[in-house]
Structure 1
Amino acid sequence: MSSTPDPEQFQALLREHEAIVLKVAALYARHAEDRRDLVQEIGLQAWRSFGRFDPQRAKFSTWLYRIALNVSISLLRKSSGAWESRLESLGEHHLDYLAIDSPSEPDERLVALHSFIRQLDALNRALILLYLEDKSYADMAQILGLSETNVATKIGRIKRLLREQMTNVTIEEA
């Protein structure tokens, strides 16, 4: 992309992919006002970086996921300021934004899965979001700035922990 970004092109791409920004903001922000603020911060950081976006190296959606998750995770890590009470661990109401169909009567295993996801740190929560979005390990690695091997290892660990926890839930139900 040229060093002088085209605002109209940026706005069109951002509108086309706004679901990414809204989904990430919904997973990390507590209240509607905070989600709007986080969406604005993500948009601002995306605009600031747009001049360096290279469509030969990444799809816009991959690039935008990376920015959205990095901004959200960075704000969580800074948690010493005003954002501490505005960002939160994944809550039950956020899980609607994940690619999980919720039946009218919640399945106990689904409730356990939601509980498990809520306990994950910000990076692993981002990995699960991308995994549930059917992103490839290569895309996840590019978005999160990890190696594919690291992504595979982390996903494997998360799956192992989930299996252990789900086995415990099944045993307790019996």
Structure 2
Amino acid sequence: MPGEASRGDDELLAHIAAGGQAALSELMARHGRGLRTFATRYLGHAADAEDVVQEVFVTVWKQAARFDPGRGRASTWLYRITANRCIDQRRRRALRNFFGLDDIGEEPATPEVNAETATAARQELAIVRNGLSRLPERQRMALLLRAVGELDIGGIAEVMGTSAGSVEQLLVRGRRTLKDHLADAAQGRERKSS
């Protein structure tokens, strides 16, 4: 239909609430990748993130009528649902780990053209992921919502159910801790190479 590509998220949610599957598909195409990236970074596992995003869009399908555009942006609502599902997924994973039920291996590496560059990039990424995983949960979530979700301070505060000032503090502390971790890792590499 003409003009449908330009529909806003609020309009899409209204169509979804009325049973519009095409609107859900459009919303998934528009936000699925960003939500998946956020969930993957937060959880550290692509398969878990995929499950989370599927749960998010099932929730959107069932609860689109509950979205109130007067209370915030649709994208913020989607990230709030995703953040909550990520927290639930981490709890499930912790429970599976506790009982020894989690036997998920690493994803297979893809062949790279320049092996040395790829190895260095993987090492850097591993250091950043390690640093993120060591952050307190709320700092990690705030940083990822800012970096991956591209939400502003107000949007992050809305997703996390806190004040803008608290978000700013979480971001400052999280960035400082992550920066310190990266500096420590760089010093460790320098010591090993000398």
With structure 2 as the length reference, what TM-score do the two structures score? 0.64
Change (3 A) 1:31 1:141: closer
1:62 to partner: Cα distance? 1.5
Q: Please state whether the residue corresponding to 1:38 is helix, strand or coil.
A: helix
Q: How many angstroms does 1:80 deviate by?
A: 6.1
| 2:129 paired with 1:114 | yes
Query: Unpaired segments of 5 or more residues in structure 2?
Result: 1-9, 108-116
Q: Decide which moves more: 51-60 or 145-154.
A: 51-60
Q: Deviations over 1:13-45 (max 9, x none)?
A: 23322113322443327463x444333222222
1:162 to 1:82, Cα distance in 2 relative to 1, 3 A: closer
What is aligned with 2:4?
none
| 3-state SS, counterpart of residue 106 of structure 1 | helix
Q: Structure 1 residue 66: deviation in Å? A: 0.9
* Compared CA separation, residues 29 and 43, structure 1 to 2 (3 A): farther
Shift of 1:54: 1.9
- Aligned match of 2:162: 146
Sequence identity, in percent?
25
Q: Which residue of 2 aligns with 1:161?
A: 177
- Of 148-157 and 42-51, more deviation after overlay is shown by 42-51
Question: 1:41-56 residue pairs with structure 2 within 5 A?
Answer: 41-56=55-70
Q: Give, in whole Å, the separation in 2 of the partners of 1:42 and 1:72.
A: 10
- Counterpart in the other structure of 1:7: 19
- Structure 1 counterpart of 2:72, which letter? A
What is the rounded CA distance, in whole Å, between the counterparts of 2:146 and 2:134 in structure 1? 17
From 57, 64, 77, the equivalent of 2:78 is 64
Q: Is the 8 A contact 1:124 1:154 kept in 2?
A: yes
Take 2:173 and 2:92, find their aligned partners in 1: how far apart are those partners? 26
Judge conservation of contact 1:75–1:83 (CA < 8 Å) in 2.
Answer: no
Q: Is the 8 A contact 1:116 1:162 kept in 2?
A: yes
SS at match of 2:69: coil
Give the match for residue 143 of structure 2: 128
CA RMSD of aligned residues (A): 3.4
1:119 is matched by which residue type in structure 2? Answer: R
What's the secondary structure of 1:51's corresponding residue? helix
Taking a change above 3 Å as real, the CA distance of residues 162 and 23 of structure 1, as seen in their structure-2 partners, is: closer
Q: Give the 4+ runs in structure 1 shifted more than 6 A.
A: none
Task: Kindly provide the amino acid, as one letter, of the partner of residue 155 in structure 1.
Answer: L
Q: TM-score, normalised by structure 1?
A: 0.70
Contact 2:139/2:170 (CA < 8 Å) preserved in 1? yes
Gap change, CA 1:47 and 1:145, over 3 Å in 2 = farther
Greater shift, 117-126 or 51-60, is seen at 117-126
106-115 or 120-129, which moves further after superposition?
Answer: 106-115
